[in-house]
Structure formats: C-alpha cells, structure tokens
Amino acid sequence: MIENNVPVAYRKGRLHFATKTFQALRIAVNDELRTLQTGLQKGFEILEKGGRISVISFHSLEDRIVKRFYKEKEKKGEAKLISARNEFRSGGNKEVILASAEEIKNNPRSRSGKLRILEKKT
C-alpha cells in the first residue's frame, strides 16, 4: 500500500521509502511527542536547583520540542543552557552537542543524535 502511494522520486535514497511512514505511525500510536513534553515538564518540576536535564533527540520533531522547552525556561530565568563547545564537536550553535566522527564510525545510529543540557537556576 505504501509503495503504491509513494512517488518514484522518493523511493531512491539511503533509507527505505517506508521508513518515515512507519516512524510517523509509531510516533502517533505511542503518543511520543506529548509524552516527551510531559516528561520534560515533570522532570523539571522535581529537579533541584543546580540539577541538570540532558536529552538526546534523534529527529527534528523531538528536537524542536526539547529546544523550545529549554529556551522557554531560559527566557523565564528558571534555567540556563549548558554549552560544551570546548569538550565536544558542536553543531550550528553552542547549545547542541553532536557525535564525533569517531563515535559515528563506531555507532552509525549516533549520527542523528543531538544532546542538549539544561541546568535549573531557581
């Protein structure tokens, strides 16, 4: 069924063309995005001052939720984003930590992971 509805141009590439379809179904059925949002909120509530929340996201939907939550807490003065620029290879900004080339070589699944760290101030 999926094959009949996916344009030929999308069938070529590194991933099987049905991968994203099944990923979307899994995310919806398991209510993963709402669960992530709830987990971030509840985790932050029980976190003590100076405590940290570290989240590794593996796709843009997850990362957007984590990034917005962290930025909201930082804007309100409740927390600060932790930078690890000098310790790890950084992405486009200092708040995201990506896998090193060596890590990706040893663990190809790590290539899409983004680590973000938030420290509670209040």
Average the pLDDT over each of 9-18, 27-36, 50-59, 106-115 and give the range with the smallest value.
9-18
| Amino acid letter, 27 | I
Predicted pLDDT at 54: 93
| 85: pLDDT strictly greater than 60 | no
Full residue range of the structural domain in which residue 105 is found: 49-120
Residue 10 domain-assigned?
no
Predicted pLDDT at 70: 95
* Whole-number Å distance between alpha carbons of 101 and 47: 33
What the block records as the tokens of 76 is 């309100």
Put simply, whether the predicted model's pTM sits higher than 0.85 gets the answer no
| 55: pLDDT strictly greater than 90 | yes
Angle value at C-alpha 100, between 107 and 10, nearest 5 degrees? 60
Residue 97 domain-assigned?
yes
Pairing mode, strands 114-120 and 79-81: antiparallel
More confident residue, 85 or 76: 76
Residue 71 domain-assigned?
yes
Residue 2 domain-assigned?
no
| 5: pLDDT strictly greater than 80 | no
**Domain containing 95 — which CATH number?**
3.40.50.150
Residue 23 domain-assigned?
no
Residue 6 domain-assigned?
no
Say how many domains are in the chain: 1
With bands split at pLDDT 50, 70 and 90, how would you rate the model's confidence at 86?
A: very low
Q: Is 36 helix (H, G, I), strand (E, B) or coil?
A: helix
Task: Give the residue carrying structure tokens 């962290």.
Answer: 70
Cβ atoms of 81 and 74 within 8 Å: the answer is: yes
Residue 27 domain-assigned?
no
